[in-house]
Chains A and B, each alone.
Chain A
């Protein structure tokens, strides 16, 4: 099972939006609506931001939104804030297994 493809980096100024893509295959992202997104600050455990493509856990700001089209899922962070600077990982169910994305470092300029 190959890792899902994410851009290594993304950036935006405070207040702007940034969108991170997560490209898989018809065996994972394209078939299952079990795509999640995690935020990870240095030295911290991953924090769930989006699950089941577009659902936000309690406590996650509505600036974070998820979507999916075909084999590609996306995470959009609107109204970027300094604290959004972190690594972001997607993951997808792949039929009796899971696969993670390669990770994207988001920089707030």
Chain B
């Protein structure tokens, strides 16, 4: 069965970086793009962007250009989201989502930015 398993919660200092992983199984990894979605505490869902898993080409939403970087390691069917120069407002749950007619979601990774 399709699974997207994300890495565990992270607590980081402001200014640090974090890398969240999303390991796919149960389907051909390069057949579907991976979206990233953010949900800050008490807020709604925001589309961060996506990465084409067959080419590695990323697309970022306007609000997430610069400090957010998507990458892949197709040999292990894993997508990554790296956020640099972390700010308190980056504190959120980050979800990876398989892009298909019916999106399939990972369990989410809580990133907490606090000194």
Contact = CB atoms under 8 A, between A and B. Distances in A.
A97 to B, nearest CB: 6
B97 to A, nearest CB: 9
B76 interface: no
Contacts of A38: 45
B44 A100 contact: yes
A100 B108 CA distance: 17
Contacts of A87: 44
Given A48-B103, A57-B102, A98-B35, 15 more contacts: A1-B61, A36-B102, A45-B95, A45-B107, A46-B95, A51-B101, A51-B102, A52-B102, A55-B101, A55-B102, A87-B44, A96-B59, A97-B49, A100-B45, A101-B44
A64 interface: no
B10 interface: no
28 contacts: A1-B61, A1-B62, A3-B44, A36-B103, A38-B45, A45-B95, A45-B107, A45-B108, A46-B95, A46-B105, A51-B101, A51-B103, A52-B101, A55-B101, A87-B44, A89-B45, A91-B45, A96-B59, A97-B47, A97-B49, A98-B35, A98-B47, A98-B50, A99-B47, A100-B45, A100-B46, A100-B47, A101-B44
A65 to B, nearest CB: 16
Interface in A1-23: 1, 3
Interface of B: 35, 37, 44-47, 49-50, 59, 61-62, 95, 101-103, 105, 107-108
A67 interface: no
Chain A contact-residue range equals 20 to 34
B81 to A, nearest CB: 16
Contacts of A78: none
A36 to B, nearest CB: 7
B105 A45 contact: yes
A24 interface: no
A3 B38 CA distance: 14
Contacts of B102: 36, 48, 51-52, 55, 57
